Amino acid sequence: MRLAVTGREGQVAASLVEAARGRDDVEVVAVGRPALDLARPDTVFAALEAARPDIVVSAAAYTAVDQAEDEKDLAFTVNATGAGKVAEAAERLGVPVIHLSTDYVFDGAKDGAYVETDATAPLGVYGASKLAGEEAVAAANPRHIILRTAWVYSPFGRNFVKTMLRLAADRDEIAVVADQWGNPTSALDITDAILHAAAKVRDDRNFVAFGVYHLAGEGDTNWSGFARHILDTSRALGGPYAKVRDIATADYPTKARRPQNSRLSSAKFARVLGWQAPQWRASVDVAIGHLPIGRTCIPVN
Ligand SMILES: NC(=O)c1ccc[n+]([C@@H]2O[C@H](COP(=O)([O-])OP(=O)(O)OC[C@H]3O[C@@H](n4cnc5c(N)ncnc54)[C@H](OP(=O)(O)O)[C@@H]3O)[C@@H](O)[C@H]2O)c1
């Protein structure tokens, strides 16, 4: 099975490429800039055609949540028009598309975990552009799986886990928001889930369960609880450690508003596609195990 994933250095793209290295039944081709530039949607088809995929994974996105408030046109071009072109290219090539989306399509006002049928109401430009992307993907290719995920980290790229480790290397205490709740999700697990779903779609010619799915780590916490677990694990491995001090969202103003409740229920994915995400703490430990903690260097991203 040959997957083309959009983006080169992104967390999900890099994790997929890495996962395929250890398997002989899967080949992953990362297709990114300059050949495929979602800001120039006319580049998309030729780049994906050249990759000759059995399935397209649409992981590239404009992900700078705060900056998107000032770059609305670019965010929509990349996340909506560009994503739609990726799904359209897959359709023209006769293959399904697995498209990554986000908890930011919700406003966070729900009490409890969001399910796929809950009403969307993005709080900012990034969430609105990703929601428009979902609509463009669904309209362009009926054979789509839209995976909404959240709080993604991995051994690759920039993310909260690496930021906490970097800060702990030169501070005794880190202030972290304790009133936003969600499910930390490892890109290594997302990769497993994507490969599982891709094989299912490819092997089952009668597969009809296309649509929207939520996929996030099992169990929930707030950013502060997430940070504490990262730093406890790091300390146990001989890596950097700092105390975590709880603060409120109001103490850490950002340009874009974030949902206070980002919890996603992954029950539909488990029931229909037969893959269950691990407990988030176990996945954090696995990801940190991939980093050079306590050995020769501290991650710099
Ligand atoms: N990170 C999260 O917490 C989170 C949460 C929920 C949903 N998601 C969604 O999950 C997906 C994967 O996220 P991630 O964390 O892997 O993202 P990421 O690490 O921020 O990487 C973004 C990727 O998009 C690519 N990209 C950006 N602009 C592009 C353009 N104009 N043309 C082509 N490629 C472009 C980047 O390319 P380069 O390789 O060239 O830099 C990079 O590969 C995204 O769709 C994101 O919206 C992420």
Percent of the chain with pLDDT over 90: 94
Query: pLDDT band for position 122 (50/70/90)?
Result: very high
| pLDDT per position as a tens digit, 150-184 | 999 999 999 999 999 999 999 999 999 999 999 99
Distance CA 114, CA 119 (A): 9
For residue 203, the model assigns a pLDDT of 83
- Tell me, in angstroms, the distance from the centre of ligand 1 to residue 61's CA: 4
**Residue 301: pLDDT over 60:** no
Mean pLDDT of 201-225: 94
Question: Could you give the C-alpha distances from 252 to 73, 178, 257, 258, 280, in angstroms and in order?
Answer: 26, 11, 11, 11, 25
Residues 6+ apart with CB under 8 A from 113: 220, 263, 264, 265
- Closest-CA residue, ligand 1 atom 37, reads 7
Percent of the chain with pLDDT over 70: 97
| pLDDT per position as a tens digit, 219-232 | 999 999 999 999 99
**Residue 22: pLDDT over 60:** yes
| pLDDT per position as a tens digit, 61-100 | 999 999 999 999 999 999 999 999 999 999 999 999 999 9
- Tell me, in angstroms, the distance from the centre of ligand 1 to residue 7's CA: 7
Distance CA 134, CA 145 (A): 10
For residue 294, the model assigns a pLDDT of 57
For residue 205, the model assigns a pLDDT of 81
CA R_g for the chain: 19
Mutate to test the pocket of ligand 1, among 42, 56, 63 (most ligand atoms within 8 A of CB): 63
Query: pLDDT band for position 299 (50/70/90)?
Result: very low
- Closest-CA residue, ligand 1 atom 1, reads 152
Mutate to test the pocket of ligand 1, among 58, 152, 284 (most ligand atoms within 8 A of CB): 152
E strands, 22-84, in order: 27-31, 55-58
Q: Which two tokens stand for residue 240?
A: 């950097």
- Tell me, in angstroms, the distance from the centre of ligand 1 to residue 243's CA: 30
Q: Which two tokens stand for residue 121?
A: 């109401």
Query: pLDDT band for position 204 (50/70/90)?
Result: confident
Atom of ligand 1 nearest to the CA of 61: 24
E strands, the chain, in order: 2-6, 27-31, 55-58, 97-102, 144-149, 152-153, 173-177, 181-182, 185-186, 211-214, 221-222, 243-247
Q: Are 169 and 248 in contact (CB under 8 A)?
A: no
Residue 149's DSSP bridge partners are: 102
Could you give phi then psi for residue 108, rounded to 5 degrees? 80, 10
Residue 245's CB is within 10 A of a number of other CB atoms, namely 12
Distance CA 51, CA 4 (A): 6
| pLDDT per position as a tens digit, 237-255 | 999 999 999 999 999 889 9
For residue 120, the model assigns a pLDDT of 98
Atom of ligand 1 nearest to the CA of 185: 3
Residue 57's CB is within 10 A of a number of other CB atoms, namely 32
Residues annotated as part of the active site: 126
**Residue 214: pLDDT over 70:** yes
DSSP 39: T
Burial 8-21 (b: 16+ CB within 10 A, else e): eebbbbbbbbbbbe
DSSP 8: S
Mean pLDDT of 10-20: 96
Domain ranges, ordered by start, for the chain: 2-158+185-220+263-279
Strands 2-6 vs 27-31: parallel, antiparallel or unpaired = parallel
- The predicted model scores a pTM of 0.96
Pocket of ligand 1 (CB under 6 A): 7-13, 32-33, 36-39, 59-63, 78, 100, 102-103, 130, 149-152, 157
Distance CA 123, CA 139 (A): 23
Say if domain 2-158+185-220+263-279 classifies as CATH 3.40.50.720. Answer: yes
- Tell me, in angstroms, the distance from the centre of ligand 1 to residue 60's CA: 4
Query: pLDDT band for position 296 (50/70/90)?
Result: very low
- Tell me, in angstroms, the distance from the centre of ligand 1 to residue 102's CA: 11
Mean pLDDT of 116-134: 98
Burial 203-227 (b: 16+ CB within 10 A, else e): eeeebeebebbbbbbbebbbbbbbb
Query: pLDDT band for position 194 (50/70/90)?
Result: very high
**Residue 297: pLDDT over 50:** no
